[in-house]
């Protein structure tokens, strides 16, 4: 989780939704979690784009906090 993306939408799709759905436990991350709230916690908008600023443990803690 350290790639840089040009847009917030791309970062959300590739780093948050893909990670959650990639577990095989969730079919539609947007239904099960507040994706925007997770993004607010774990994404950074440092120039020139967006990247995950949380470590793996911090990322999954944010996911758990925003389960619906």
Domain membership flag for residue 37: yes
Q: Structural domain of residue 60, as residue ranges?
A: 8-65
Instruction: Report the sign of the C-alpha dihedral through residues 30, 31, 36, 40, in that order.
Output: negative
Backbone angles phi, psi at 13, to 5 degrees: -60, -50
Alpha carbons 58 and 54: distance in angstroms, whole number: 5
Domain membership flag for residue 2: no
Q: What is the pTM of this model?
A: 0.86
Domain membership flag for residue 38: yes
Alpha carbons 31 and 52: distance in angstroms, whole number: 21
Q: What is the pLDDT of residues 11-60, one digit of tens each?
A: 999 999 999 999 999 999 999 999 999 999 999 987 788 888 999 999 99
């Amino acid at each position: 989780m350290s790639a840089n993306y040009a847009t917030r939408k791309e970062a959300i799709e590739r780093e948050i939704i893909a990670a959650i759905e990639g577990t095989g436990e969730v079919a539609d991350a947007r239904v099960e979690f507040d994706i925007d709230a997770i993004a607010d916690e774990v994404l950074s908008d440092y120039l020139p784009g967006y990247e995950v600023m949380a470590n793996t443990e911090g990322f999954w803690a944010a996911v758990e906090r925003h389960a619906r």
